[in-house]
Amino acid sequence: MAAVRKLQPQYLWQVERLLDPGSVADALAGYLTLHHPPERTSIYGYYPGGDQLTGFLAFALTGIDLFRPLAVPFVASEEALHALLQAALRPGRPVLLYLPFDQEDWLPEQVHLSDMRLTEIYRLDPTRFRPLINVLVTNETSPDGAPRKGIRGRDGASAVAGINWKGGKYAEIYLDFNERGRERGFHLAVLHALCAELLAEHKVPLYRLGRENHSLRQNLEAIGFRMTTVRTLVSQAVWREEREEGEV
C-alpha cells in the first residue's frame, strides 16, 4: 500500500539516490534536499510499496519568496504527485509550486493555481563567457542575508544581480533593474560580475526566464547562456480540501 513519510535527515540518502547531480532538471530539488538549511526544510517521501522510495516533495522556506514556502515535487507518476501534495499542503495556505510543465495535467482538482507562468532554464556555458569588469559594481547583501552585486547611479539608475540558491554544482541567479539601469547597461554589468564570481567558486550559473521576456533572453545568450530543455510551471498553489480529522 502506498504511503507518504516525512523523512528524517539520516534517511536523505534515499532521496540522493534518485537525483542526478549533473542534471539541470534535478538541480533545485537537489539543492533543497541536500544543501538548504534543514530547519527550514521538510522532505516528504513517497513509498508505493514496502521501503522503496520512488519520489519525494521538498517543502521549504527560502529567500526566493519570503512569504510563501516552496513546494518542489520530484515524481514519476500522477499517484505520487497527488499523495505528496496532500501530505505537504495545508488547506488555504498558499505555496509557490515548481512543477515540470509536462506534469501540469497530473495536478489533483483540489489544488487551485493562480499567477501561473511558464519558465525556461538557461545554463551558462563557461567556454562562451568573457568577464566584463565595471568599477561601478559593488558588493551588497540582500534582505535574506545573501550576497549580491549592485550598481546605484546618481540619476536613479540601478541594477542588482543575486543568488536564489547555490547547490553542489549549480547556482540559480536573478536580476532586478529599472529602465534607466537597463539603458545604461547596468544589468549586464552586475550579471557579468556575479557569473564570474560563481565560476571562480566552480558553480555553474542558471537563470530561470519567463518565455515572454525576449529582450533579456537576447542579453543572456550574448553573455554565454544557452537554453536547456527544462521548462517549469511556477504558480501559487492552494489546497482547497479540508483534511480528515487525525490525518498527518
Walking along the chain (248 residues) 10 residues at a time, the average pLDDT comes out as 86 93 96 94 92 94 91 97 95 96 95 95 96 91 88 94 95 95 94 96 96 86 96 96 51
213 lies in some domain: yes
Q: What is the pLDDT of residue 247?
A: 46
Residue 157 sits in the same domain as residue 218: yes
248 lies in some domain: no
Residue 210 sits in the same domain as residue 151: yes
Q: What is the pLDDT of residue 127?
A: 96
Give the Cα separation of 163 and 119 in Å (integer): 17
Residue 136 sits in the same domain as residue 103: no
Give the Cα separation of 43 and 20 in Å (integer): 17
Residue 11 sits in the same domain as residue 107: yes
Residue 82 sits in the same domain as residue 132: no
Residue 164 sits in the same domain as residue 109: no
75 lies in some domain: yes
Q: What is the pLDDT of residue 213?
A: 80
CATH value at residue 209: 3.40.630.30
Among 57, 59, 76, residue whose Cα is nearest residue 68: 59
* 141's grid cell: 547583501
Residue 7 sits in the same domain as residue 74: yes
Residue 159 sits in the same domain as residue 219: yes
Q: What is the pLDDT of residue 216?
A: 92
Q: What is the pLDDT of residue 211?
A: 80
245 lies in some domain: no
* 5's grid cell: 513519510
Q: Are 167 and 135 in contact (CB under 8 A)?
A: no
Q: How many domains does the chain have?
A: 2
Residue 51 sits in the same domain as residue 149: no
Residue 146 sits in the same domain as residue 168: yes
Query: In which residue are the cell numbers 563567457 written?
Result: 129
Using only the alpha carbons of the chain, give its radius of gyration.
Answer: 19
247 lies in some domain: no
Residue 7 sits in the same domain as residue 114: yes
246 lies in some domain: no
Give the Cα separation of 248 and 239 in Å (integer): 15
51 lies in some domain: yes
144 lies in some domain: yes
Q: What is the pTM of this model?
A: 0.91
Residue 97 sits in the same domain as residue 161: no
Long-range contacts of 114-117 (CB under 8 A, 24+ apart): 114/235, 114/236, 114/238, 115/235, 115/236, 116/233, 116/234, 116/235, 117/210, 117/233, 117/234, 117/235
Q: What is the pLDDT of residue 1?
A: 57
Find the domain containing 78 and state its range.
Answer: 3-120+232-239
